Structure 1
Amino acid sequence: MEINFKDIQVVGFDADDTLWVNETYFREAEEAFADLLETYETKNKIDQELFKMEIKNLDLYGYGIKGFMLSMIESALELSNNEVKQETLSKILDLGKSMISHPVEILDGVVEVLEKLQGKYRLIVLTKGDLLDQERKLERSNLSEYFHHVEVLSDKKEKNYQDLLDHLEIDVKNFLMIGNSLKSDVLPLVSIGAKAVHVPFHTTWQHEEVAEPREKKGYITVSKLTDVLNYL
């Protein structure tokens, strides 16, 4: 199905794994966490229990590194039957701090795309996660100059998007979202009448995985970010 982008006036970008690398560092931290706890359980079991803990805690902590750190600590206590050493807990905290302080790695094609689209469209960032961490990453990325607005959402569901677009006085017919997650960056926008571009990242958090619809409506999938320049 061919999609017409001629009415697009505002382009929204997801941040994590669309503008810069993110999920890769979570996977590395999970592996290190499993190494720290392997005296109590198998690595596969540790991974499963950590994921369950993350999902259980989403309503409490939201998305982001800080919530991930708390889930790791809680998982460590449960998996060890509260016998985990203080030294191990300190190392878990260090894992999270290392993620927070990690240099921002801009993905290929991001600067090229932003430079080409700047001036032609109103560009905004729509991401979710910890506010302080996302603001910090945006500052370190040196990408702020390209965007008219930055919004850190508590979640990325239809209502979150619709409320924000209404607040910014953006008609859904004039809005295009670009992101790596079908579940968070594409399907909710299509559901409210906007358009979207799916740019898959090589690693996806299990919670973000969703089956692709048999028939694509309102969005396209491209292999790399610079491919969007063929449509805009």
Structure 2
Amino acid sequence: MEVDYKNIKVIGFDADDTLWVNETYFRAAEEEVGRLLSHYETPNKIDQELFIMEIKNLPVYGYGVKGFVLSMVEMALELSNKTVSNEIIEAILNIGKTMINKPIELLDGVEDVLKTLSKDYKLIVATKGDLLDQERKLENSGLIDYFHHVEVLSEKQEVNYSKLLKHLDINPSEFLMIGNSLKSDILPLVSIGAKAIHVPFHTTWEHEKVTIKEKNGVKYKTVKSLTEIIKLLK
């Protein structure tokens, strides 16, 4: 599906699993908490209950590691009928601290792509998650100087993006969003008249998955890696 990018002036990048590795650590944490609680339920059941708890808590905690950890604790209390040991609760908290302190692992070609595109376009970060955690990751990534603006959104829906573009004083037709999530980074942008490029990551949180019907007929480009984007914009 051909898309015309000649009017693009500002390019937005998602952060987690677009610029650096993130979801992999959540999957590893789920496996670890599954082992910690294995005498209460099967790993599959624990995964299901954790997902239900996360979705229930999203309006309260939002996205990010801290809300994830609180949901793990709450799920452990429910599964154990509030008999889970202090040692297991402490272990769950330590899982979260380990996730927060993970070194930044940039995805292939990220800095080269940003360096090239920043010569011709204004670059921004548009991500969601915990503000403090995202600011820390961006600072530790060494990429901060490539970006004109950083926006940490509570949600990535049409209304949020429209407010962001209004704040940036940019027309949707002049904006391109790049990210790994069809639900958060692609479909809302196309809906408001912007362009979007999908760069899939090897693992996707269940909450971010979309149906074939939801993406059917939506005009966007999918590439295998960020480095392909440079050719598209030449």
Q: Which amino acid aligns with 2:119?
A: G
User: Percent of pairs identical after alignment?
Assistant: 66
Partner of 1:188: 188
Q: Deviations over 1:80-99 (max 9, x none)?
A: 00000000000000000000
Q: Which amino acid aligns with 1:126?
A: A
* TM-superposed deviation, 1:211: 2.1
- TM-score w.r.t. length of structure 2: 0.98
How far does the alpha carbon of each residue in 1:53-86 deviate from its partner, in whole angstroms, 9 at most, with x for none?
A: 0000000000000000000000000000000000
Residue 207 of structure 1, CA deviation: 0.2
1:23-172 matches, within 5 Å, as: 23-172=23-172
> Counterpart in 2 of 1:214?
216
C-alpha distance in structure 2 between counterparts of 1:182 and 1:214, whole Å? 12
1:32 CA drift (Å)? 0.2
- 2:122–2:148 contact (8 Å) kept in structure 1: yes
Structure 2, unpaired ranges of 5+: none
Q: What 5-or-longer segments of structure 1 have no aligned partner?
A: none
Deviation at 1:208, TM superposition (A): 0.2
Any idea what SS the aligned residue of 1:231 has? helix
Q: 1:195, 1:118 → 2: CA distance? A: 18
Q: Which residue of 1 aligns with 2:232?
A: 231
Amino acid at match of 2:92: I
Name the Cα RMSD after superposition.
0.7
TM-score by length of 1: 0.98
Matched to 2:150, the amino acid is V
Task: Give me the whole-angstrom Cα distance separating, in 2, the residues matched to 1:150 and 1:51.
Answer: 29
Runs of 4+ aligned structure 1 residues displaced above 4 Å come to none
Give runs of aligned pairs for residues 12-23 of structure 1, distance below 5 A: 12-23=12-23
1:10 aligns with 2:16: no
Q: AA paired with 1:188?
A: P
Cα offset for 1:170? 1.0
Equivalent position amino acid for 2:217 in 1: E
User: In structure 1, what is the Cα distance between the partners aligned to 2:40 and 2:216?
Assistant: 43
Q: Distance in 1 between matches of 2:199 and 2:64?
A: 21
Structure 2 counterpart of 1:223, one-letter code: K
One-letter code aligned to 1:125: V
The number of residue pairs the alignment matches comes to 231
